[in-house]
Amino acid sequence: MVKTTYANIYREPNFSSEMITQALFFETLEVQSEHDNWLKISQWDGYEGYVHKFYLCNVDANEGDSAILTDRLTPIYTAPDSINISMLAPFGSRISYSQYTDHWCHLKLDSLDYYFKAPEKINTPITRDTLIDHCNRLIGSPYLWGGKTPLGYDCSGFVQEVFKSVDINLKRDTSQQIEDNRFPSIELSSAQRGDIMFFDFKKKGVDHVGICYGDDQVIHCGGYVKIQSIHDDTHKKLLDYIVEIKSIKNHLNG
């Protein structure tokens, strides 16, 4: 289990290798093999890579409730006092916890006790407005190849984590996300807030993804997380590079 804010995952078992993705705080990783101080792991989405052991700890039993954190960064404390911060858990972290008081939650990690303020209620309806609200919380996050936290996202990592925050699991890479047949393809004229928009800037199939924001706008991580008109031609006119749009209507329940 990841005991730090996030864990970098590399293509090969060394720090000079390419970072291909990240695992978030409290995420459980499936170990496939051991390579000195490195582990080859598989994540919840099937993504594989190598992580250094110092990011990880043994799993402690945390029976009780579970929550996906939807604040940009959630302070994790060593005592229920709002003073002793141990780390900041990023947006999208899923934490199992027990209720400590009305305002505090308790979890154990690496045989240590931690506390965080009670999160928003989960199991709220999945709506387009909820999805866009979660997008808005991440505006300004910088671009980072392989990134999956507000400290740095790549385009597909941003989309994956926003959808995971409403319990919709997507694959990691843009090339995988566009092949997801759970989401029907639609025309631009039918696109609504929350639908997934795919782009091809290099004319090789697909290489970018964002989320429809409404009014011919998309929120995406292009340099940083931002809202941009598809007609904006200051760099590349996004409208000219749209290759597919997928509807999320079948996954809404409110």
Is residue 94 within 8 A of residue 68, CB to CB? The reply is yes
- pLDDT, position 122: 55
pLDDT-derived band at 121, boundaries 50, 70, 90: low
- pLDDT, position 173: 98
pTM of the model: 0.95
The Cα-based distances of 248 to 150, 194, 251 in angstroms read 24, 7, 6
pLDDT tens track for 170-198:
999 999 999 999 999 999 999 999 999 99
- pLDDT, position 62: 66
For the chain, domain boundaries = 6-55, 65-117, 128-251
The Cα-based distances of 134 to 34, 54, 60, 92, 129 in angstroms read 37, 31, 29, 10, 9
CATH dotted code for 6-55: 2.30.30.40
pLDDT-derived band at 30, boundaries 50, 70, 90: very high
CA distance 38 to 22: 15
pLDDT tens track for 131-165:
999 999 999 999 999 999 999 999 999 999 999 99
The CATH number of domain 128-251, selected from 3.40.605.10, 3.90.1150.10, 2.40.170.20, 3.90.1720.10: 3.90.1720.10
- pLDDT, position 118: 84
pLDDT-derived band at 61, boundaries 50, 70, 90: low
The single residue listed with the structure tokens 């199991």 is: 123
Residues 6+ apart with CB under 8 A from 15: 52
Equal CATH topology for 6-55 and 128-251:
no
| 185 residue type, one letter | S
Local structure of 230: helix, strand or coil:
coil
